[in-house]
């Protein structure tokens, strides 16, 4: 691999009436950092079904990244939550930031039913836990814009540069967001940021994922 190729980390703008999105705060903090010989490039994606696809294509064309990690907020999650796959389904529970609410549509007509993460998720979760950062695997990225973004990144990379690994990380609420909704779990921004840095380092260092059970019973 060419060391000059950067690591692409994406976040999202706030949505659903919220004033903040930890995914946006994290990419702002990470932008331009170096991880060894690789620079981190970032983008904040629109929470808009119709606009996000072209943005993804433009980012991949501009940066030709060595690795892609997409971040999003999932209120209710209590740990750094690594999505195992994305499905070819859009079913929006709330309108996106353009006011669109597509129901039961494909992300990509004639695309495969699903894509799986290609980052070494189990090794990453183990590394995070060993550093005292709560982390786990998730079997569903939902059916909203995050799932669409994960699906499109995976699809584009599989077609163009299959050796480039990608994954999606759902974040808990920030403490200030949780303070507005009694009982909601949260995580400090500094902890999430440390977790994302560690995730990138582990993803670069680990070639073969751990062979450890990470499944669930229904
Ligand atoms: N979370 C939403 C979209 C943007 C974000 O941060 C989701 O989980 O689909």
How many other β-carbons are positioned within 10 Å of the β-carbon of residue 27? Answer: 25
Q: What 3-state class would DSSP assign to 159?
A: helix
Catalytic residue among 79, 115, 166, 170: 170
Q: How far apart are CA 164 and CA 158, in angstroms?
A: 8
From the CA of 145, give the closest atom in ligand 1: 9
Residue 47 Cβ contacting ligand 1 at under 6 Å: yes
- By the 8 A CB rule, do 70 and 21 touch? no
Q: How far apart are CA 57 and CA 39, in angstroms?
A: 20
What is residue 198's predicted lDDT score, i.e. its pLDDT? Answer: 98
What is residue 3's predicted lDDT score, i.e. its pLDDT? Answer: 59
- The residue to mutate among 10, 11, 12, 76, having the most atoms of ligand 1 within 8 angstroms of its beta carbon, is 12
Start-to-end CA distance of the chain, whole Å, equals 40
Nearest C-alpha neighbor of 78 from the set 174, 168, 172, 182: 172
Q: Which CATH architecture has domain 7-205?
A: 3-Layer(aba) Sandwich (3.40)
Exposure on the CB side of residue 160, measured as CA atoms within 13 A: 15
User: Who's near 85: CB < 8 A, 6+ residues apart?
Assistant: 114, 115, 116, 117, 139, 141
Strand bridging mode 80-83 / 34-35? unpaired
Question: For the chain, what are the domain ranges?
Answer: 7-205
Q: pTM for the complete prediction?
A: 0.97
- For the chain, list residues with pLDDT below 70: 1-3
- Give φ, ψ of 121 to 5 degrees: -65, -40
**Atom 7 of ligand 1 has which residue's CA nearest to it?**
146
User: Who's near 177: CB < 8 A, 6+ residues apart?
Assistant: 18, 20, 22, 75, 184, 186
């Amino acid at each position: 691999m060419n060391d000059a190729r950067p690591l692409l980390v994406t976040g999202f703008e706030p949505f659903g009436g919220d004033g903040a999105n930890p995914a946006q705060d994290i990419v702002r903090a990470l932008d331009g950092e170096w991880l060894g010989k690789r620079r981190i490039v970032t983008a904040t994606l629109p929470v808009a079904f119709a606009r996000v696809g072209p943005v993804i294509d433009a980012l991949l064309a501009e940066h030709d990244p060595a690795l892609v990690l997409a971040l999003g907020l999932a209120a209710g999650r209590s740990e750094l939550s690594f999505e195992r796959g994305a499905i070819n389904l859009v079913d929006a529970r709330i309108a996106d930031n353009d006011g669109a609410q597509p129901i039961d549509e494909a992300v990509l007509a004639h695309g495969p039913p699903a894509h799986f993460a290609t980052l070494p998720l189990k090794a990453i979760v183990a590394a995070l836990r060993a550093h005292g950062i709560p982390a786990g695997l998730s079997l569903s990225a939902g059916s909203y814009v995050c799932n669409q973004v994960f699906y499109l990144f995976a699809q584009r990379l599989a077609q163009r540069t299959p050796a480039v690994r990608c994954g999606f990380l759902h974040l808990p609420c920030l403490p200030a967001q949780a303070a507005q909704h009694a009982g909601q779990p949260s995580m400090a921004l500094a902890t999430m940021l440390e977790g994302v840095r560690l995730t990138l380092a582990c993803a670069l260092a680990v070639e073969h994922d751990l062979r450890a059970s990470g499944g669930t019973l229904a």
